[in-house]
Each structure stands twice: as C-alpha cells, then as structure tokens.
Amino acid sequence: MSYNLLKGKKGIIFGALDENSIAWKTAERAHEEGAEFVLTNAPIAMRMGTINQLAEKTGSQIIPADATSVEDLENLVEKSMEILGGKLDFVLHSIGMSINVRKGRHYTDQKYDWTQKGTDVSAMSFHKVMQTLYKADAMNEWGSIVALTYMAAQRVFPDYNDMADNKAYLESIARSFGYFFGTDKKVRVNTISQSPTPTTAGSGVKGFEGFFSYAEKMSPLGNATALECADYTITLFSDLTKKVTLQNLFHDGGFSNMGVSTKIMEAFTKD
Ligand SMILES: NC(=O)c1ccc[n+]([C@@H]2O[C@H](COP(=O)([O-])OP(=O)(O)OC[C@H]3O[C@@H](n4cnc5c(N)ncnc54)[C@H](O)[C@@H]3O)[C@@H](O)[C@H]2O)c1
C-alpha cells in the first residue's frame, strides 16, 4: 500500500546488491511512496549484482561509487543533484563488509589490514558520505540520513567478529555527525538496528541460521524482515519523524529488550 509519504522527495540509496538486499526493498518502497532517487553501489558489486533491473523498475539512474573513495562520493553527490534537479531529502547507507568474516578469520586472530578495510567500508564510509554531503551543502532542510546497524554494537555475538566493532563506530559517527548536521543544516541522522536478515551480507556471518532462529524465538513479534525494515526506513525519510535524530532505533521485533522467552526456556527445559 502507498501513502505518498515521499512525494516530491529526492535521495541516494547505497547498497542494493540483489533483491534480498535491505536497500533493494527500500528503493522499491521509496519508489512506491513517490520518491525519485539515484542508486549506487561499488563498481565490483555492479558487475556481480542485478541493480540494472531495480533501476529499470524504479525509473532510477545508477552511479557507481566505492563508498571508501571520497573522490567517487564527490562525483556521486554532484551528479545526483544534476540528475534529480536539486538538493537531496534522504540518503540510505546500507553498506557492510568484513574480510575477516568472509574468510573465516577468528576475532582473536584478525589480520589487521583486513580489519582496517572492513572498518573503512562498514563505518568510516558513513563519515565520508556525510562529510561529502555536508561540504557540498547537498541536503535540504529537514532531510534525513539513515544507516543500518546491528545489535552486536552493544551486546556480544561472538561470530559477528570485527563487524561488531565496525557497527559501534558507525553508530557513534551517526551521533557525532548528526549533531553538526542538525545544528547547521536541520538534517536528521539515525541508525536502524535491524534483526538478522537473510541477505548476502547477513548470511555470510558464521552461524547465521542459529542466531536467526534464536532471535525469532526470543522476539515477541518475531524477526523483522527486509521489507519491514524498508517500511521503517520510509517513515524516517518522511516528514512524520522530523524531530527524531541522533538515535539508534531498534527494529527487531522486541529482541533487544528481552531477557528470555518461553520458547527459548522450553528449548532448554527437560521434560
Ligand atoms: N542482513 C542482516 O542480518 C543485517 C542485520 C542488521 C544490519 N544489517 C546491515 O544492513 C546493511 C545492508 O546489508 P544487507 O543485509 O542488505 O546485505 P547486502 O549484502 O545485500 O548489502 C551490503 C551492500 O554493501 C555494499 N558494499 C560493500 N562494499 C562497498 C563499498 N566499498 N562501497 C559501496 N558499497 C559497498 C555491497 O555491494 C552490498 O550492496 C549493512 O550495513 C548490514 O550490516 C544487516
């Protein structure tokens, strides 16, 4: 169902790799809600993914950008404003990658140049995106910037590895940059802390199925899907949430406030 929540709004969506991606669902929902936007992803992901189909479906143009390259980001922001005919109202940062995770390197045995690369891609890129937008004065007043995160930033999930540290850094950047974006430009910055979701990035974490079903049994409302995450993101891009900023917003069916659930107790109780 469409509510025209983003009618007339313009934005940039990072991170749609395939139809499972949270960014992909967000692009589809933003299109349904009347937004116009540019899609972007790392040049390598463009070759692997199917982003052209999404562009066609949503009437969007694609501009490749490695989110760790300030030069690419400057080009992206400048070209997006040209294509969309003005400043932006929303930006989605839906980017994450850890080489240590991908190559099965244990947290206690990290290869630090991989760690650095992962931090650059998963966290510092958010600073780079915002600094580029800020310097180019590319955001309209009451615009909204959202990045996606995971609760391993606050609690221990051993197999989430160095991504836990990257997410803690990402959430801190949202608050610190959000202060300046708020006071100087009236733009809000938030992170959404999403349930485990079966995407390329999500399923790449060791033991994903285990903590996916654990979270499902623990959450009073069950895990939030990628489409539900897209819906929540749309509300944050809309004018209905203008004074929400500097927040890490849990979108997890209630998981983050649980101690134990009956379903989990049953799994550990002998008959
Ligand atoms: N899937 C989950 O369980 C889950 C849970 C909470 C938060 N998140 C977060 O949601 C976000 C989106 O991930 P997803 O689950 O949709 O997976 P995904 O694999 O579909 O998306 C990750 C995206 O990051 C992009 N990317 C990687 N390196 C990049 C670079 N250098 N420049 C630009 N883009 C780059 C990839 O190409 C891909 O499109 C990530 O921040 C992820 O950590 C995911």
Q: How far is the CA of 230 from the centre of ligand 1 (A)?
A: 14
pLDDT band, very low/low/confident/very high, at 1 (cuts 50, 70, 90): confident
Average pLDDT over residues 212-223: 97
CB of 200 within 6 A of ligand 1: the answer is: yes
Cα–Cα distance, 191 to 171 (Å, whole number): 6
% of the chain exceeding 70 in pLDDT: 99
Q: Is the pTM of this model over 0.85?
A: yes
Give the model's pLDDT for residue 16. 97
Give the model's pLDDT for residue 46. 82
**What is the tens place of the pLDDT at every residue in 181-200?**
999 999 999 999 999 999 98
CB-CB contact of 189 with 195 (8 Å): no
Q: How far is the CA of 97 from the centre of ligand 1 (A)?
A: 7
**What is the tens place of the pLDDT at every residue in 10-65?**
999 999 999 999 999 999 999 999 999 999 999 988 877 699 999 999 999 999 99
- Does position 132 have pLDDT exceeding 90, yes or no? yes
Q: Which of 26, 69, 199 is the pocket-test mutation for ligand 1 (most atoms within 8 Å of CB)? A: 199
Give the model's pLDDT for residue 47. 77
Q: How far is the CA of 96 from the centre of ligand 1 (A)?
A: 4
Q: How far is the CA of 200 from the centre of ligand 1 (A)?
A: 8
The type of residue at 86 is G
Q: What is the largest CA-CA distance in the chain?
A: 66
Average pLDDT over residues 209-233: 96
All domains in the chain, ordered by first residue: 10-268 (3.40.50.720)
Give the model's pLDDT for residue 204. 87
Torsion of CA 224, 157, 101, 110, to 10 degrees: 160
Query: What DSSP string runs through 93-133?
Result: E-----HHHHTT--GGG--HHHHHHHHIIIIIHHHHHHHHH
CB of 94 within 6 A of ligand 1: the answer is: yes
CB of 21 within 6 A of ligand 1: the answer is: yes
Average pLDDT over residues 162-175: 98
Give the model's pLDDT for residue 211. 86
- Does position 95 have pLDDT exceeding 90, yes or no? yes
The stretches of the chain forming alpha helices (DSSP H) are 22-32, 43-48, 51-58, 70-84, 99-102, 112-119, 125-135, 163-185, 200-203, 208-218, 226-237, 262-268
Give the mean pLDDT of the chain: 96
CB of 132 within 6 A of ligand 1: the answer is: no
Q: How far is the CA of 266 from the centre of ligand 1 (A)?
A: 34
The type of residue at 79 is K
3-state secondary structure of 148: strand
Backbone angles phi, psi at 238, to 5 degrees: -80, 170
